[in-house]
Each structure stands twice: as C-alpha cells, then as structure tokens.
Amino acid sequence: MNDIPIIYENSEIIIINKPQGLACQGGQNIAHPLDKELPFKLGYPIYLVHRLDQETSGLLIVAKSAKAASKWTSLIGQKSVKKEYDALCIGVPEKPEGTFKSSIVDHGVKKDALTFYKVKKSWNMDSYILSHIHLTLGTGRMHQIRIHLAKAGYPIAGDDKYGNFKANKELKKLCGIKRLKLISSRLTIPVDGKEMTFELPVEFGLDA
C-alpha cells in the first residue's frame, strides 16, 4: 500500500500529498489507485474533487461526501481555488515570466487554456540547459501544463508523452531523471471566509 500523507483536513475535505506513480482512479493495469487506497486507510469513502496525472506528485483535494465534492468542484470551476505547480524543464524561456495561451483539445473539444509561468532557476547539464519553472493555472484543461510547456519548446524533463524523448533518454544517463518532474506544489483554498495556503518544498536534486 502507498503511504499517502495527509496535509490538512476539515469536515468537508482532505488535502493529501499524492505520491508520484499513484493513479487517482483505477483502470487497466492499475491495482492500487488513490480512490481505493485512501478509503482503506481512512475507513470511509472519499470523492475526487480534481485529479493529478499518475506521474505528477503533490497537493490534491479529496472530499468526504458527494455534496462536499460538488461544492469544491464548483469552487475550482469558479477559480476560488488557486493551483500552482513546479516543473523541471528542458530549455529556458527567453522572458523570466509570462503566459502560455495556446488552446488545448480537452476530451475531444478544443478549448482556450491559460498558464502563467515564472522561471526560478536554471542549470547547465552537459549539452542541455534545464530550468525550474513555477506555474499557476488560469484554466484547468487535461495535461494543460505538460502540453503548454512542450508547445512552447520547454518540455518537462521525464515527460514521455509530450516531451523530448531523445533528451529524456540522455538526461536519464546524465543525471538520473527517470520520471516526470512535475509537482503540484501549492494550493490556496477558501476556508471560513479566509484564504489558506498549503505549500510543499520543491527540490529537484540538481546542483546550480
């Protein structure tokens, strides 16, 4: 069973730190998804409010009831919940901060998508330049961050779906990058009329 750290809990929701490699829901070849593992640990059912890709780790909201799940899904849709991420990318944007605006096909429908970025740090790694980029979602399309970074020419290291496959293979040998380097690192939520922020430390394990 996966260890699933609980970061925060109230009467409606639980915020967890989802481990990398843990799928949110079951499916083919997925034996221990979050929606089965966490209820086993807690002793009662949980309801997914939003999702993270299997290879994305970090902060995730789940609800304790269907009613609470509906409420918090609506809050996310209304942008009352702020979701921020950190990624290790191949290449460095020319501008230290900016916006990705290209549209994305989400569940078969082309939709506008908005991601704000800020470059935190960069490294020279043999023939590659890697960068630590902080990202804030303006919209919540499927695989939005991964697609936006790949389209812009700064794919996430270890992304074998949208990324640079040749670079991923070489970086695995150079610095041991084996999996997607994307973390749901910061969540800001409304609780009792105030904003509460939860943040995970981000360390990609590379020297400057």
Known catalytic residues? 53
Reported as type and span, the H/E element at residue 114 is none
b/e sequence 45-76, b meaning 16+ C-beta within 10 Å: ebbbbbbbbbbbbbbbbbbbeeebbeebbebb
The conformational region for residue 21 under phi > 0 = left, psi -120 to 50 = alpha, else beta, is: left
The conformational region for residue 38 under phi > 0 = left, psi -120 to 50 = alpha, else beta, is: alpha
Strand partners, 14: 9, 62
